[in-house]
Chains A and B, each alone.
Chain A
Amino acid sequence: MSPFAAPLGLLGLLAVPVVFLLHRLRRRLRERRVAGLFLFAPDTLSVGAGRTVSPLLRTASLWLEVAAAVALGCALALPSGDVARRAPHVVVVLDDSASMSAVAEGRAAAERGRDAVRARLDGLPRDATVTLVLTGTPPVLLVGPRAARADVGDALARWRPTRGAHDPAAALALAAELAEPGAGVWFVTDADAVDVPPRVEVLAVGRALDGAAIAGARRFRDGDVETVLLDVVAYARGPFATSVSVRVGRGDRWDEVARRAIVVSPDRPTTLTLAVPASDLDVRVALDDDPLALDGDVVLLPEPPRTVPFALAAAPATVARLGLDRLDRALDGVVASDEASAALVIADHEAPVARGVTRVVIAPAGDERDDWLGPFLLDRAHPLAAGLTLDGVVWTAGRGPLRGRGIVFAGEQALLAEETSPVGTVVRVNLDAARASVPAAADWPILWSNVVERVRTMLPGPAAVNLKLGETLAYRATPGDGDLGGWRLVAPSGASESLGDGPWWTAEPTEVGVHRLVAPRGELARFSVAFVDARESDLRDRGEGVRPSLAGGAIAVDAPVAYAGAGAWVRGLALAVLALAVADVWVLRRRPSRQGGNPA
């Protein structure tokens, strides 16, 4: 096994004198730190400038490079007759969008996709390797890369596509990176007209179907009767007949309490009102015989009471003039309280605000008065301005500055402002109650509804328990929640996500169904996440068929590979070359810079 018997080995050993020569010709140039070195690479200096011949230094780098050259020569000299055939490799991209769960003739598109992939894999050689990629943002590597064919079965069986609409391009780009030249890339989806790169073969397993989806659902209690309000949309080529069932229960036990047959017009929401017995159990609303069960099955959890306690700290005459004595009758979810336990204090004078309290101060700023007819400028981004028009309003305000972030202005005069602090919030209404017409306008109850809803969002507990996929879940700690660390959000699949320390948590659930917020002392709240996505619910343009790759679909099964199956000596020497090279780089990087930084 002499190196001189193999020409490549001889060439490899020539590297030894080259290493010595390079170490004699050392360069001494000024240095500059740059980012885009590759843009200069073709202009590497090849002659003269700045190069000097210096005595050979017996450095660690020199010996490492000589050893690497010797090892390289020996590795190249070894016979390579046992080079092996490369095992064929297939990268399968699975469309993980919810529409793949649509059922036609008793089978979901995902099941047809599974069967198609299994049938094709069975036709490959026994040593074929497979990589499974799920579409998504970001894409997910389900199996592999280059897993054994036997490892794919379980992963395929566990695959349950439930994501909202997304672009598969990221997953296809990842597949292209994982698939070396000659490897096959299959995209299993339910749309035959999908746009893919040329080397991708499309296995479309969808069916064009008519269906319906629940676009919105709410529940309200009124005494012993509870009302479920439902928006149903049909994605069909004509009127779509289905039935709605309402069940009450929790966990695995559900009792049907209402059922109604309906005919839904395509592409526009139909609103249904269903009365059910009031209970503290969950309400489950489902559309029967819908091809995509995911978008027609919603669990409505009982909304926990989020009553806003309010107190009045104003003169009785002012309260009567502003109609505030009727506040608890005009708005839902508010209750009169004393000032010490109120979350909302309505006053006609400034005072220190207690922790977690919103104080609304209704008083004119300064002693002079102006009667404003408009135009009024409203900060539409602020929730207190939602729904306000101020049409026809005469707003009598004081002429003076108003502390806080301005929300409503007349010219440069602020009429409504909000000041927030870590302690509490102060809303200032620059209004002379004795003269203004605002309290008699339609905007007045709207403003108070906005104030109450804003205070309600700051109350402890969950901000909302019935959410749509993509919405943010929020929870503010209550005094009885105990330790504020170690909280977890448990998804319907059992997957658990650790949340940071409180007292304010938010999360964006990615699964449909009932999620649980769990603290060390037990379950604190539940959240129901419904699937609402028209792009996935509309199955009318789905299709099936096979579209071959434009780059030629044959998977190479006999391409040789340089080191696969080569002897242990070759692998050992190759590793030695690599280790020596890494050590050389490490030694060189430890050398101090000659000039320090960049030239000015």
Chain B
Amino acid sequence: MRPDVVAACGPYRLVVPSTALSGGAGDRMGRGTGASLEFTDFRDYVAGDDLRHVDWRAYARTDGLKVRLFRDEVAPHLDLVLDVSASMAATEAKARATQDLAAAFVHLATRSGSRARAFAAGGDPLPTERPAPLVGPGAGDLLPRAALRLRGLRVVVSDFLVPDDPVPRLRAVAAGGAHLYVVHLLDPWELDPDLEGTTTLVDAEDGTRLDLDLVADVAARYRTRLRRLRDDVVRATRAVGGTYALVPAGDLPTMLRRALAPQRVVEPA
């Protein structure tokens, strides 16, 4: 893992909701009985039971072997769905922020004992140890081709700059998961475009060209449409019970401190 990512993530950890989780042994409460210290019940020992759960003090008092039942404690799986379309590399800052956020979520999950996997939105698994190339087509379909793990945490990082309804797309990703984080990553220029006058805008994904006079009125109407699109994503996230975070592209410590922490995606470790 890159040292700068490790250093930036040091003071934080993922905010994990108290929903039904699934994963390896960890520090979050799971669904069933298991190996945590949250005691639930006693039952008689039977051959094959885990010796670690025998109540030796009760044995000393009663001469009867009892097994303590605990709530399961898990480090929830984390499946990262990364929009690798060329639009995520529309500017250098946005491309760098996309790679940094992907590395940060993988590191935060791995550090807490979770198994993290990454997928291209609508595509195949991505390697977690190196940055993914941002050259794909538009992320119309977010659900990866490979199955996501049940009751795990899911994170979507995308700019959502497609004219499709986000509700079915996010619902498909959230289905079967314990919780969905939607990280809406936009370049500062995309949030508030400069008034550059007559300009040819070139679509980062398909090269479509559009001539316009980028003046105050045009920028204001653009911001209104962007706000509606953002409201749609917020509504879609709420519909699946997820957590939404708008993140202006920047350096990783700033994104963690000013965007992800205030919007309850990460919290102080």
Contact = CB atoms under 8 A, between A and B. Distances in A.
Interface string A139-179: 00000000000000000000000001011011001001000
Contacts of A585: 207
A138 B56 contact: no
A383 interface: yes
Nearest to A173: B168
A508 B202 contact: no
A428 to B, nearest CB: 20
Given A27-B200, A381-B27, A33 B91 contact: yes
A49 B175 CA distance: 49
A120 interface: no
B224 to A, nearest CB: 9
A41 B196 CA distance: 16
Contacts of B57: 442
B36 interface: yes
Nearest to B208: A37
Interface stretch (A249-257, A445-453, A541-549): A445-453
B222 A43 contact: yes
B161 A35 contact: yes
Nearest to B173: A170
A40 B212 contact: yes
Nearest to A441: B56
Given A220-B47, A387-B35, A35 B159 contact: yes
Given A32-B199, A34-B204, A138 B172 contact: yes
A38 B210 CA distance: 9
B212 A35 contact: no
Nearest to B163: A38
A449 B51 contact: yes
Interface in A524-548: none
A504 to B, nearest CB: 13
Interface string B185-227: 0010010000011111111110111111100001001100110
Contacts of A386: 25, 35, 52
User: Is the interface on chain B under 10, 10 to 19, 20 to 34, or 35 or more residues?
Assistant: 35 or more
Contact of B211 (A27, A34, A173, A387): A27
A167 B175 contact: yes
B176 interface: yes
A461 B235 CA distance: 49
A480 interface: no
Nearest to A444: B56
B210 to A, nearest CB: 6
A325 B37 CA distance: 29
B269 interface: no
A24 interface: no
A301 to B, nearest CB: 15
A31 B199 contact: yes
Nearest to B221: A43
A218 interface: yes
A510 B147 contact: yes
Contacts of B175: 137, 166-167, 169-170
A170 B122 CA distance: 13
Interface string A568-600: 000000000000000001000100000000110
A479 interface: no
A400 interface: no
B257 interface: no
A470 B22 contact: yes
Contacts of B40: none
B145 A138 contact: yes
A37 B172 contact: no
Given A40-B212, A449-B52, A32 B202 contact: yes
Contact of B204 (A33, A167, A273, A380): A33
- Chain A interface size band reads 35 or more
A36 interface: yes
A18 B10 CA distance: 61
A519 interface: no
B237 interface: no
Contacts of A450: 52
A36 B147 CA distance: 29
Interface string B164-175: 000010011001
Interface string B79-100: 0000000011011001000000
Contacts of A44: 210-212
B102 interface: no
Nearest to A443: B56
A450 B204 CA distance: 54
B66 interface: no
Nearest to A452: B51
A317 interface: no
Contact of B51 (A164, A229, A331, A598): A331
A170 B87 CA distance: 25
B207 A39 contact: no
A218, A382, A386, A470: most-surrounded residue (chain B CB, <10 A): A386
Contact of A33 (B75, B202, B212): B202
Interface string A378-391: 00111100110100
B26 interface: yes
Nearest to A29: B200
Contacts of A136: 147
B7 interface: no
A37 B52 CA distance: 60
Contacts of A138: 143-145, 147, 172
A40 B218 contact: yes
Contacts of A442: 56-57
Contacts of A32: 196, 199-202
Given A387-B52, A442-B57, A29 B198 contact: yes
A167 B176 contact: yes
A35 B192 CA distance: 13
Contacts of A42: 221
A474 B232 CA distance: 42
A478 interface: no
Contacts of A41: 210
Nearest to B143: A138
A470 B198 contact: no
B213 A49 contact: yes
A222 interface: yes
B261 interface: no
B106 to A, nearest CB: 17
A220 to B, nearest CB: 4
B126 interface: no
B190 A35 contact: yes
A271 interface: yes
Contacts of A389: 37
27 contacts: A30-B196, A31-B201, A31-B202, A35-B190, A35-B204, A39-B222, A39-B225, A39-B226, A40-B201, A40-B222, A43-B218, A50-B198, A138-B143, A138-B147, A166-B150, A173-B171, A173-B172, A176-B168, A220-B47, A229-B48, A331-B51, A380-B27, A380-B73, A382-B113, A445-B51, A446-B51, A449-B52
Given A38-B163, A137-B175, 12 more contacts: A29-B200, A30-B196, A31-B201, A39-B226, A45-B213, A49-B213, A138-B147, A164-B150, A271-B43, A387-B52, A508-B149, A585-B207
List the 4 closest pairs (A to B, CB-CB), nearest first: A35-B87, A167-B175, A36-B161, A387-B52
